Amino acid sequence: MKALQIKKYGEIKDGLEFTETSKPEIADNDVLVAVKAAALNPIDYKLVQGHLKDMLKLDLPTGIGYDMSGEIVEIGSKVKDFKVGDEVFGRVPQEYMGTVAEFVAVDANVIAHKPDNVTFEKASSLPLAGLTAMQALKKADIKKDDRILIHAGSGGVGSFAIQYAKSIGAIVYTTTSDTNVEWVKALGADRVIDYKNEDYKEVANNLDIVFDTLGDDYTFDAFEIIKDGGKVTSIVGPPDEKTAKQMGMTDYQMPEKLSKLIKKKSAQYTLTWMQPNAPQLKEIKTLVEDRTIRPVIDLVYSFDKAVDAFEYLATGRAQGKVIVSLAETFENK
């Protein structure tokens, strides 16, 4: 089969290469999926560039990509909930990484049936971003009438989070650039903050929750704008102690600055290290089929242009998700 692989660390165009390789062999609990579309995520190009090599040890060459949607072509002997021909979507675990390929093997326990009302391209855009947003907001126990700031509302995670928070009945503030204000507003945000021309800390304050998708100073500044007893839920900041243990970080101590801010505001702080989750994928499927959540796609590239797709994603200009399609025909929006 044809697959895009990381051959070496470095620039995207130098580090990625198409390779002919054998189809993956499946274990008893696995399915083999003919990939129809794969969504790209920032973690993918960061892996190529070597930014995560101290955290994730890769045996190069290796496949690239975590998000996929496709059709099952083979099932393991212990698989009960799927059959050959089923259309599925999911975020594959680390050991199955390599969805930008004609076929991918994956544990059947971490995927779900594809939403019936969207294309493979749109379905592939949902798993990593959707699970990340959902798990982070569930950790914050988001509820009706909560006032929440979601940073970077035009990104894959942010655009899903806005819609998910609104489905619960929260009051949503979000930040984006001036060129994205109108379409982010269309996602349902109550107040869209143009960060180039407005200071978000002056617009949004006394909040119940801040969803930190940017890290660095944004993580610490979140404590300025939450109310006493408020919550900061992050996907890029320093780990909390519980998450650090899940990540295998022994003898971890939270940064003193962060600990002081938490204590000063009597706040709750959590980092989400997203995990594949089939029940939550089924929840996403229902939200999409009910048209409560709509997938947000910027561009779709053909399989042979996958390296170009990664280079575009790395510019940081994408409005929503960037997709690689392996279907013969596909929608570009």
> How far apart (Å, rounded) are the C-alpha atoms in residues 259 and 103?
45
Q: Is a pLDDT exceeding 50 seen at residue 333?
A: no
The whole-angstrom separation of Cα 285 and Cα 113 is 8
Query: What is the H or E stretch that residue 105 is in?
Result: strand 103-107
For residues 149-168, average pLDDT: 95
User: Cα separation of 39 and 300, whole Å?
Assistant: 9
Average pLDDT over residues 14-23: 96
- pLDDT per residue over 201-242, tens digit each? 999 999 999 999 999 999 999 999 999 999 999 999 999 999
pLDDT of residue 178 exceeding 50, the answer is yes
The pLDDT of 138-146, averaged and rounded, is 97
pLDDT confidence of 18, banded at 50, 70, 90?
very high
Q: Which two tokens stand for residue 199?
A: 């200071």
Residues 215, 197, 169, 128: what is their CA dihedral angle, to the nearest 10 degrees?
-40
Task: Give the three-state DSSP class for 282.
Answer: helix
pLDDT at 330: 54
Q: What is the pLDDT of residues 246-260, one digit of tens each?
A: 888 888 999 999 999
Report the pLDDT averaged over residues 46-59: 87
How large a percentage of the chain has pLDDT more than 90?
89
Taking only the tens place, the pLDDT of each residue in 272-288 is 999 999 999 999 999 99
CB 218 within 8 A of CB 158: no
Domains observed in the chain = 2-126+295-325 (3.90.180.10), 132-271 (3.40.50.720)
Supply the pLDDT for residue 78: 98
Q: Residue 174: its pLDDT value, please?
A: 97
Q: Cα–Cα–Cα angle for 41, 133, 178, nearest 5°?
A: 70
Q: pLDDT of 292-328, one tens digit each?
A: 999 999 999 999 999 999 999 999 888 889 999 998 6
DSSP for residue 101: B
Which residues, 6 or more positions from 232, have their beta carbon under 8 angstroms from its beta carbon?
A: 209, 210, 212, 219, 222, 223, 226, 267, 268, 269, 270
Helix (H) or strand (E) holding 159: helix 156-168
pLDDT number for residue 5:
98
The pLDDT value given to residue 331:
53
**Across residues 98-127, what is the average pLDDT?**
98
User: In sequence order, what are the beta bridge partners of 32?
Assistant: 74, 105
Q: Which two tokens stand for residue 313?
A: 């994603």
Backbone angles phi, psi at 85, to 5 degrees: 100, -15
What average pLDDT score do residues 85-109 get?
97
Q: What is the pLDDT of residue 296?
A: 92
pTM of the model: 0.93
**Which position has the token pair 């089929």?**
289
Return d(Cα 125, Cα 127) in angstroms, integer. Answer: 6
Q: How confident is the model at residue 172 (pLDDT cuts 50, 70, 90)?
A: very high
How many Å apart are CA 151 and CA 276, to the nearest integer?
23
Cα distance between residue 242 and residue 321, in whole Å: 30
List of residues 6+ apart from 199 with CB closer than 8 A: none
Beta bridge partners of 174: 150, 192
* Whole-Å CA distances, 327 to 25, 57, 111, 265: 22, 32, 20, 51
CB 117 within 8 A of CB 89: no
User: How far apart (Å, rounded) are the C-alpha atoms in residues 240 and 233?
Assistant: 10
Mean pLDDT of 130-144: 97
pLDDT at 332 over 70: no
pLDDT in the model for residue 57? 84
Given this model, what pLDDT does residue 329 score?
A: 54
